[in-house]
Amino acid sequence: MLTLKLLRENPEFVIKKLAVKNFDAAAIVEKINALDQSRRSLQAELDSCLAEQKKKAALIGGLMKEGRKEEAEAIKAEVASLKAKSSELDRKSQENNSELESLLVLLPNIPCDQVPEGKGAEDNVVVKMGNEIPELGPDALPHWELAKKFDIIDFDLGVKLTGAGFPVYKGKGARLQRALINYFLDINTKAGYLEVEPPVMVNEASGFGTGQLPDKEGQMYHANLDNFYLVPTAEVPVTNIYRDVILGNNDFPVKMTAYTPCFRREAGSYGKDVRGLNRLHQFDKVEIVRIEKPEDSYAALDDMIAHVEAIVKSLGLPYRILRLCGGDMSFTSAITYDFEVYSAAQGRWLEISSVSNFESYQANRLKLRYKDADGKTQLAHTLNGSSLALPRVVAALLENNQKDGRIWIPEALRPYTGFDYID
Partner RNA sequence: GGUGAGAUGGGUGAGUGGCUGAAACCACCAGUUUGCUAAACUGACGUACGGGAUUACCGUACCGGGGGUUCGAAUCCCCCUCUCACCGCCA
Interaction site with RNA (CB under 7 A): 4, 39-40, 43-44, 46-48, 50-51, 53-58, 60-61, 64, 76, 79-80, 83, 226, 246, 369, 371, 377
Side-by-side strand order, sheet with 222-223: 201-202, 228-230, 222-223
Select 353 or 364, whichever has its Cβ closest to RNA: 364
Q: Which residues contact 104 (CB under 8 A, 6 or more apart)?
A: 1, 2, 4, 32
Select 4 or 213, whichever has its Cβ closest to RNA: 4
Q: How far is the CB of 94 from RNA (least distance, A)?
A: 8
Within 151-233, where are the H helices?
A: 155-161, 172-190, 204-209
Q: How far is the CB of 85 from RNA (least distance, A)?
A: 12
Select 344 or 379, whichever has its Cβ closest to RNA: 379
- Reduced 3-state DSSP string for 136-169: CCCCCCCHHHHHHHCCCEEHHHHHHHCCCCCCEE
Judge residue 222's burial from the number of C-beta atoms within 10 Å of its C-beta, 0-12 exposed, 13-18 middle, 19 or more buried: middle
- How far does Cα 77 stand from its chain's mean position? 54
Q: Which residues contact 5 (CB under 8 A, 6 or more apart)?
A: none
Q: Can you state the percent helix, strand and coil of the chain, rounding each to 5?
A: 45, 20, 35
Select 48 or 269, whichever has its Cβ closest to RNA: 48
Q: How far is the CB of 349 from RNA (least distance, A)?
A: 41
Q: How far is the CB of 1 from RNA (least distance, A)?
A: 11
Q: How far is the CB of 255 from RNA (least distance, A)?
A: 22
Q: How far is the CB of 213 from RNA (least distance, A)?
A: 16
Select 295 or 374, whichever has its Cβ closest to RNA: 374
Select 346 or 382, whichever has its Cβ closest to RNA: 382
Q: What single string gives the DSSP state of each residue in 86-122?
A: HHHHHHHHHHHHHHHHHHHTTSPPPP-TTPPP-SSGG
Assess contact for 213 and 182: CB atoms under 8 A.
no
Q: How far is the CB of 6 from RNA (least distance, A)?
A: 12
Select 96 or 401, whichever has its Cβ closest to RNA: 96
**Residue positions counted in the chain:** 423
